[in-house]
A and B are shown apart, each in its own frame.
Chain A
Amino acid sequence: QKEVEQDPGPLSVPEGAIVSLNCTYSNSAFQYFMWYRQYSRKGPELLMYTYSSGNKEDGRFTAQVDKSSKYISLFIRDSQPSDSATYLCAMSTQAGTALIFGKGTTLSVSS
């Protein structure tokens, strides 16, 4: 079992839909959770950062962490064609250590 599992998709939705992206993990020591967005032929860019359990909202994006279930989610409201990208979850046990990434989910939002 990989440390971080993420469904690669692809996920296709119409513009305006609510998108749910998820990752599961096996290491209960993970405390820091991140979501990155990666456009084709670009490096990943940080979208959301959450420490421990709970929710965090930023505009159309909401990140949720459920440590009891070892499950994290990213919700995108009112999805736009510009949201079409690969979304990568990442996590670590300590601040300032290497992140463990999921394989990424490819999202396509059609207008």
Chain B
Amino acid sequence: GAGVSQSPSNKVTEKGKDVELRCDPISGHTALYWYRQSLGQGLEFLIYFQGNSAPDKSGLPSDRFSAERTGGSVSTLTIQRTQQEDSAVYLCASSFGTDHGYTFGSGTRLTVV
């Protein structure tokens, strides 16, 4: 596609439920990033995939968070046993190689009630 596609655009879930957020990067982009944006907190790095290398998971806030990237393309971010503090906009970005020209998707707005 022309841009980074994220789905769903909005998700409301009950506390304790698991959620899956999907990111479809730009075709040919080898790097994929997940960030979280909370009100007043800026963008917080979560995880980074680069080609076939092991992902950099150093930003994941707890073991309830995990992500995978299948076939070097689509990525899924999974949050287990959601908590209210997980409410945020989850942004995905992709880039070609080590290019700093990230292209962001529009994000998934997650609300945990």
Contact = CB atoms under 8 A, between A and B. Distances in A.
Interface in A64-111: 88, 90, 92, 95-104
Contacts of A99: 43, 45, 100, 102
A32 interface: yes
B93 interface: yes
B33 interface: yes
A60 interface: no
19 contacts: A8-B40, A32-B100, A43-B93, A44-B43, A44-B102, A44-B104, A46-B101, A46-B103, A49-B101, A88-B42, A88-B43, A96-B98, A96-B100, A97-B48, A97-B56, A98-B56, A101-B42, A103-B40, A103-B41
Contacts, number: 58
Q: Select the residue from A32, A92, A98 with max chain B CB neighbours within 10 A.
A: A98
Interface in A2-39: 6, 8, 32, 34
A99 B95 CA distance: 12
Interface string B68-112: 000000000000000000000001010001111111111100000
Interface residues of A, number: 24
Nearest to B4: A43
B35 to A, nearest CB: 8
Interface residues of B, number: 26
Q: Which 5 A-B pairs have the closest CB atoms?
A: A96-B98, A43-B104, A103-B42, A101-B43, A95-B98
Given A98-B33, A98-B48, A46 B102 contact: yes
Q: Looking at chain A's contact residues, is the secondary structure mostly helix, strand, loop, or mixed?
A: loop
Contacts of B33: 98
A45 B104 contact: yes
Given A97-B48, A102-B42, 10 more contacts: A32-B100, A41-B106, A44-B43, A45-B103, A88-B42, A95-B98, A98-B48, A99-B100, A100-B45, A104-B42
Interface string B21-52: 00000000001010100001111010010100
Contacts of B8: none
